[in-house]
Structure 1
Amino acid sequence: MLLTIDIGNSQIAFGVFDRDTLKKSWRLATNTTKTSDEYGSLFVSLMREAGIQPTSIDGTIISSVVPPVTPVIEQVVETYFHHCPLLVTADFPFHLTLQYANPREIGTDRLVNAAAAYARYHTGLIIVDFGTATTFCTITQDGRYLGGAIAPGLKSSANALHAHTAKLPDIELVRPKSVIGTDTVTSMQSGLIFGYAGLVDELVTRIQQEIGQTTRVIATGGLAAILAPISRTIQDVCPYLTLEGLNLLYHRIKGD
């Protein structure tokens, strides 16, 4: 079985695949102070609770946008799963033409998402990833990765409101019953949730106008399920897109 690991700024998502079937997935908080043994014991205990033995893992692939954590997780794989992992770079077989000024500046998670989405849909795409940042990736119908946009993440914006104002609380990011908030919490929820849905729709519309074609719009990331029902442009939610892309790329590299 294959272990897929996506190291993000806020969370580490990882899952175990049996060929194309995702058996189980988990999320851990990204912590630059944790040791490989601390992470390793978490990985192993979570997998064993799900009935997956570490000895059944015969391959691992990692995507990371947090350089200090990357070698720690590589050490986890070597120590606890007894093999060297593949680390995604801009040179991987994404089967896309990267029309970015410097492809090595693109977060590998964005490239993995693009590869997975294009392999699934084979059409023009805008991928909206709701993570620490909200990213937009644009792919043309003929497989050209054009770039996109990066906006502050929804949770990051909520944290900033709480941290930099005297009276605004830390709130739960849920959809309020109405746009007009009747107290501070629902007013903040409205501004964040409905405001971000508007941000998504405006950027998607402008991107489609700029490239001169309608695209399929898909969402992924931890908060996609909250924003997608409110957005007028998001058509599909793919919660495991990055892990699926890692599985796809691993088998491309291995030629099977």
Structure 2
Amino acid sequence: MLLVIDVGNTNVVLGVYKENKLLNDWRIATDKDRTSDEYGLLLEQIFKYHGLCPSDVKDVIISSVVPTLMYTMEAMSIKYFQCTPLTVGPGIKTGMNIKYDNPKEVGADRIVNAVAAYEKYGGPLIIVDFGTAITFCAVSKEGDYLGGAIAPGIKISSEALFLRTAKLPKVELVKPERVICKNTVSSIQSGLIYGYVGLVDNIIERMKEELSREGKVKAVVATGGLASLIASESKEIDVIDKMLTLEGLRIIYERNV
């Protein structure tokens, strides 16, 4: 089995593959203070609960946007799965040409998503990842990573509104029935949800214009924890693919063995 691990700022997303089949996937909170033993014991419990055996894991691949957790995850992999992990970073074979001013600046998650999306949907295409930040990535017809845009995630905006105002409460991120709301909680929810729908659709529309020389965009793919919340109202998003990052890790692993 192959264990794939994507370390994000808010969540660590994990999956176990047997050949090309995803057997199980999990999402746990990212904790920069948690030790390799704590992560390892947690994964042992998760595996046991789902009837999986850690010794069946023969390889591990990790992508991370949290540098301080990279050593932790590598140590966990070696101690609890007896595997020296493959890490997504400079020197790894992705099969994708990175046309960024400095390719090392591109987050590993963005490359992983782009690899999976191009493999599944072809190009040109746009990927929107709803994580701690919202990232927009463009891939050319030939499969080159062209760049994109980054915006604060909806949770960041919600927290900032609560922390920087004296009377506005923290709210649950759910979609209100209408934009014109008659109480403060629903009004905040309206501004956040429908405001971000407008942000997302506007950026996608502009990216499509810039990609027009590549031909018609084949797909706008949404992924990430809050993808369903925004994509359900978006006019520009074509498909929600929650497992895109895990699938990208599997594909990159196969290109390096």
How far residue 72 of structure 1 moved from its aligned partner, in angstroms, is 0.5
Q: Secondary structure at the match of 1:134?
A: strand
Amino acid at match of 1:22: L
Deviations 1:45-64 (A, max 9, x none): 01110111101111000000
Contact 1:112 1:242 in 2 (8 A): yes
1:224 partnered with 2:227: yes
Instruction: Find runs of 4+ consecutive structure 1 residues off by over 4 angstroms.
Output: none
Amino acid at match of 2:58: D
Report the Cα distance in structure 2 between the residues aligned to 1:186 and 1:219, rounded to whole angstroms. Answer: 25
Alignment of 1:102-181 (within 5 A): 102-181=102-181
User: Any stretches of 5+ residues in structure 1 without a counterpart?
Assistant: none
Amino acid at match of 1:27: R
1:96 partnered with 2:96: yes
1:74 partnered with 2:77: no
Report the Cα distance in structure 2 between the residues aligned to 1:73 and 1:94, rounded to whole angstroms. Answer: 21
Tell me whether 207-216 or 4-13 shows the greater mean CA deviation: 207-216
How far residue 78 of structure 1 moved from its aligned partner, in angstroms, is 0.6
1:214 partnered with 2:250: no
Aligned to 2:252: 249
Aligned to 2:182: 182
Deviations 1:215-248 (A, max 9, x none): 1100000000111110000000000111110011
User: Any stretches of 5+ residues in structure 2 without a counterpart?
Assistant: none
Count of matched residue pairs: 254
Contact 1:136 1:149 in 2 (8 A): yes
Q: Secondary structure at the match of 1:101?
A: coil
Q: Secondary structure at the match of 2:168?
A: coil
Deviations 1:11-60 (A, max 9, x none): 11111011111111111111111111111111110111011110111100
Deviations 1:122-181 (A, max 9, x none): 221100000000000001111121100000001111111111111111111111111112
CA RMSD after TM alignment: 0.9
How far residue 90 of structure 1 moved from its aligned partner, in angstroms, is 3.6
How far residue 95 of structure 1 moved from its aligned partner, in angstroms, is 2.0
Amino acid at match of 2:241: C
Aligned to 2:2: 2
Q: Secondary structure at the match of 1:55?
A: helix
Contact 1:90 1:108 in 2 (8 A): no
How far residue 93 of structure 1 moved from its aligned partner, in angstroms, is 2.4
Report the Cα distance in structure 2 between the residues aligned to 1:222 and 1:32, rounded to whole angstroms. Answer: 19
Report the Cα distance in structure 2 between the residues aligned to 1:110 and 1:249, rounded to whole angstroms. Answer: 13
Report the Cα distance in structure 2 between the residues aligned to 1:207 and 1:132, rounded to whole angstroms. Answer: 21
How far residue 69 of structure 1 moved from its aligned partner, in angstroms, is 0.7
